[in-house]
């Protein structure tokens, strides 16, 4: 009892102030989301006079209207082609899942070569990654577009895979630290038993790094799922959901959906799968990655 | 004889390792060569070229044009004011973000790392904006700031407030606020991760010496997590001219010119430019890189030399 009392008295004012600040921040984050959710059920006219209150009439039909008009018109050989939400969803899955798995794989493989073998190329790769992080390259997009055009990689999912399969970036360092941390004995025992390098990598090191791989792939997946600028620039004719949403919110001029409640309904629809994924895997996403490695 | 065969075995193993490593890194290095080295080399070449539109018989092509694009940048810098405005906005955004965003990020991370009341929940909430698509979060924020906030203020205080994002006086401040408000995610994750690794015995020793949480943070925790802090600052400087401040998500290609940063200028250019405009954009990129490289290395050097020591 006494101990508890002294613990309460010992709470520094700093913690109280920070706790209050964090509480205010948390509320501030949810207010626009809740407001957006409620507004998405309002009619166009109701929104003009009632911007903050609850909907007078709950327009659930807003969501079906959004689904009906959520498309991107594209020029095709035989005229105008409309890409609807179903096709965008498939494109998003191919883009986000494929790019995330491939990029994580390339970073794992390169980090494995650099971390587990004592060759000069490993040190060169490590230096390239560090330099890539601190040397700022600004404005190379036009050149990248020109090269993508020259290699015929634009407007192709495979083209995006090729462009996104790079080893540069922070996650290489995470893999590198993780792989270096494994004791050499694990691999040595397998080598003595006659295993080759490939078997050791696939049957011993890959399962040991599976948690790290999964976490990084998940972080990359969220990043690619939400990315609309890459599809906008590199595959405008293979639109993803994120690009579709950008188009719907900023460029679509269809009368039926040209209102704030409709655009907010589209946003809420898009955010639900990501939030569900986040809530399901938040323990993995939030506890594993540190800049010096992965806490197991 | 035994030594000879052992040496042979070691050599053979080394050769096998070498072939295996070469197989692993060949494709990634090729990818790096094409999409990093060639892209950036081509960017430098483009900066010195112009596009000649072809006629019916000859196709259009890039030709060497000397410093024409750089002269155009200089002329626009003198006459237009847009480039100066981009410099000002990019730097102001970086500095405000550095002082307010990094300051809050560090203190919030400290709260989470010391496992205070509801720290796990706060960590979850602080990271949440990072997993929501920027176009979704921006739209929610934009409409809330443009429609709901003015109505709340008008109803509560009777003051006539206009749409915050669309009014010149409040737009820049509101967008900077948005970036700080929505941008804690990765920083919180990495700072709190680094702070959690600070040994409990070091914290206890500081407490015995009479240090409160503020002194403990400044004199013990901050020096120990300085490598993480330095990485963030250096990376921040490296992308100072690359950040579009989410302007593209807010306005698409129609942001008012007084809001533009270089990141937005270049992204908008990449979206709208024709082949003939690529060289000018590439030249801007080369100039910005030439400014950014010494700036980044200077900041890195200064932080390494004058940053707090662990002793």
Q: Give the mean pLDDT per block of 10 residues along chain B (311 residues).
A: 69 90 97 94 93 79 93 87 91 94 93 91 92 93 95 89 94 97 86 85 88 88 87 84 92 94 90 87 91 90 81 55
Chain B segment 270-299 residues within 8 A of A by beta carbon are: 270-271, 273, 278-279, 281-282, 284-286, 288-289, 292-293, 296-297
Is residue B56 included in any domain, yes or no? no
Rg (CA), chain B: 26
Is residue B67 included in any domain, yes or no? no
Reported as a single tens digit per residue, the pLDDT across B90-123 is 999 999 999 999 999 999 999 999 889 999 999 9
Rg (CA), chain A: 25
For residue A83, the model assigns a pLDDT of: 95
Instruction: Tell me how far apart the alpha carbons of residues B300 and B309 are, in angstroms, rounded to a whole number.
Output: 15
Chain B residue numbers touching A196 (CB-CB < 8 A)? 16
Chain B residue numbers touching A22 (CB-CB < 8 A)? 108, 111, 118, 122, 126
Reference B247, options B266, B272, B274, B273; nearest CA is B266
Same domain, B34 and B173: no
Helix, strand, coil % over all residues of chain B, rounded to 5? 75, 5, 20
Reported as a single tens digit per residue, the pLDDT across B41-83 is 999 999 999 998 877 777 788 899 999 999 999 988 888 888 8
For residue B234, the model assigns a pLDDT of: 85
ipTM of the complex: 0.85
For residue A295, the model assigns a pLDDT of: 37
Instruction: Tell me how far apart the alpha carbons of residues A45 and A259 are, in angstroms, rounded to a whole number.
Output: 9
Is residue B290 included in any domain, yes or no? yes
Same domain, B10 and B94: no
CA distance A126 to chain B (A): 12
Residue of higher predicted confidence among B236 and A245: A245
Does the predicted model carry a pTM greater than 0.90?
no
What distances in angstroms separate CA A249 from CA A232, A242, B37, B253, one per listed residue?
A: 14, 11, 36, 13
Domain that holds residue B109: 79-306
A72 has a chain B CB within 8 A of its CB: no
Same domain, B188 and B283: yes
Reported as a single tens digit per residue, the pLDDT across A142-182 is 889 989 999 999 999 999 999 999 999 888 988 998 898 88
B100 has a chain A CB within 8 A of its CB: no
Same domain, B33 and B133: no
Same domain, B302 and B217: yes
Q: Assign A136 a pLDDT band (cuts: 50, 70, 90).
A: low
Residues 6+ apart with CB under 8 A from B204: none
Is residue B189 included in any domain, yes or no? yes
Q: Any idea where the domains of chain A sit in the sequence? A: 64-294
Same domain, B128 and B25: no
Vertex B44: Cα angle to B40 and B46 (nearest 5)? 110
Same domain, B89 and B143: yes
For residue A109, the model assigns a pLDDT of: 97
Reported as a single tens digit per residue, the pLDDT across A68-103 is 999 999 988 778 899 999 999 999 999 999 999 999
What distances in angstroms separate CA A266 from CA A63, A87, B273, B293, one per listed residue?
A: 7, 16, 29, 41
Residue of higher predicted confidence among B261 and A139: B261
Same domain, B112 and B247: yes
Instruction: Tell me how far apart the alpha carbons of residues B28 and A216 are, in angstroms, rounded to a whole number.
Output: 18
Instruction: Tell me how far apart the alpha carbons of residues A167 and A108 are, in angstroms, rounded to a whole number.
Output: 8
The DSSP output letter for A42 is S
Helix (H, G, I), strand (E, B), or coil: what is residue A36?
A: helix
What distances in angstroms separate CA A259 from CA A249, A270, B161, B169, one per listed residue?
A: 9, 17, 22, 25
Is residue B61 included in any domain, yes or no? no
Q: According to CATH, what is the number of the domain A64-294?
A: 1.10.3720.10
Contact A286 B123 (CB under 8 A): yes
Same domain, B267 and B168: yes
Contact A268, A37 (CB under 8 A): yes
Q: How many helices, marked H, and strands, marked E, lie in chain B?
A: 17, 2
Same domain, B8 and B112: no
Is residue B68 included in any domain, yes or no? no
Instruction: Tell me how far apart the alpha carbons of residues A66 and A85 are, in angstroms, rounded to a whole number.
Output: 10
Contact B288, A138 (CB under 8 A): yes
**Burial call B111-126: b when 16+ CB within 10 Å, e when fewer:** bbbbebeebeebbbbb
């Amino acid at each position: 009892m006494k101990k508890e009392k002294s613990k309460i008295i010992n709470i520094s004012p700093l913690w109280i102030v920070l706790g209050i600040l964090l509480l205010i921040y948390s509320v501030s984050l949810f207010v626009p989301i809740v407001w957006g959710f409620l507004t998405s059920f309002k009619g166009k006219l109701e929104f003009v006079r009632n911007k903050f209150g609850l909907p007078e009439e709950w327009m659930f039909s807003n969501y079906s209207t959004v689904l009906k008009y959520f498309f991107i018109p594209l020029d095709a050989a035989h005229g105008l082609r409309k890409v609807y939400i179903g096709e965008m969803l498939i494109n998003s899955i191919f883009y986000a899942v494929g790019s995330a798995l491939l990029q994580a794989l390339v970073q794992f493989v390169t980090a494995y070569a650099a971390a587990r073998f004592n060759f000069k190329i490993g040190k060169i790769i490590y230096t390239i990654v560090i330099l890539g992080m601190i040397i700022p390259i600004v404005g190379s997009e036009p050149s990248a577009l020109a090269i993508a055009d020259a290699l015929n990689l634009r407007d192709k999912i495979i083209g995006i895979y090729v462009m996104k399969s790079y080893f540069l970036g922070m996650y290489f360092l995470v893999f590198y630290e993780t792989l270096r941390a494994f004791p050499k004995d694990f691999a040595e025992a397998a080598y003595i038993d006659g295993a080759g390098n490939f078997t050791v990598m696939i049957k011993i090191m890959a399962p040991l790094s599976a948690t790290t791989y999964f976490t990084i792939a998940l972080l990359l997946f969220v990043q690619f799922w939400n990315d609309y600028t890459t599809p906008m620039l590199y595959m405008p004719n293979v639109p993803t959901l994120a690009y579709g949403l950008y188009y719907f919110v900023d460029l679509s001029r269809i009368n039926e959906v040209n209102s704030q409640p409709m655009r907010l309904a589209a946003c809420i629809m898009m955010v639900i799968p990501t939030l569900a994924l986040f809530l399901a895997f938040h323990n993995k996403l939030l506890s594993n990655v540190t800049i010096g490695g992965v806490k197991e | 004889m035994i030594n000879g065969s052992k040496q042979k075995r070691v050599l053979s193993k080394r050769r096998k390792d070498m072939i295996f490593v070469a197989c692993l890194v060949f494709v990634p290095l090729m990818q790096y060569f094409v999409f990093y080295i060639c892209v950036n080399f081509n960017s430098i070449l483009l900066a010195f070229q112009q596009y000649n539109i072809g006629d019916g018989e000859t196709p259009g092509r890039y030709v060497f044009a000397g410093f024409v694009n750089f002269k155009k940048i200089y002329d626009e810098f003198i006459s237009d004011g847009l480039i100066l405005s981009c410099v000002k906005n990019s730097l102001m955004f970086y500095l405000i973000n550095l002082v307010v965003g990094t300051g809050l990020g560090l203190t919030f991370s400290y709260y989470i790392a010391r496992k205070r009341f509801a720290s796990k929940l706060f960590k979850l909430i602080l990271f949440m904006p990072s997993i929501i698509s920027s176009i979704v979060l921006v739209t929610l924020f934009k409409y809330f700031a443009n429609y709901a906030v003015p109505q709340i203020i008008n109803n509560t205080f009777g003051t006539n407030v206009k749409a915050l994002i669309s009014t010149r006086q409040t737009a820049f401040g509101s967008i900077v606020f948005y970036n700080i408000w929505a941008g804690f995610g990765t920083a919180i994750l990495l700072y709190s991760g680094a702070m959690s690794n600070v040994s409990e015995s070091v914290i206890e020793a500081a407490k015995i010496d009479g240090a409160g949480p503020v002194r403990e943070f400044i004199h013990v925790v901050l020096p120990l997590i300085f490598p993480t802090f330095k990485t963030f600052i250096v990376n921040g400087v490296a992308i100072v001219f690359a950040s579009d401040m989410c302007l593209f998500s807010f306005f698409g290609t129609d942001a008012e010119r007084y809001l533009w940063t270089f990141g937005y200028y270049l992204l908008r250019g990449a979206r709208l430019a024709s082949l003939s405009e690529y060289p000018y954009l590439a030249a801007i990129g080369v100039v910005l890189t030439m400014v950014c490289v010494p700036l980044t290395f200077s900041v890195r050097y200064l932080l390494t030399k004058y940053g707090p020591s662990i002793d």
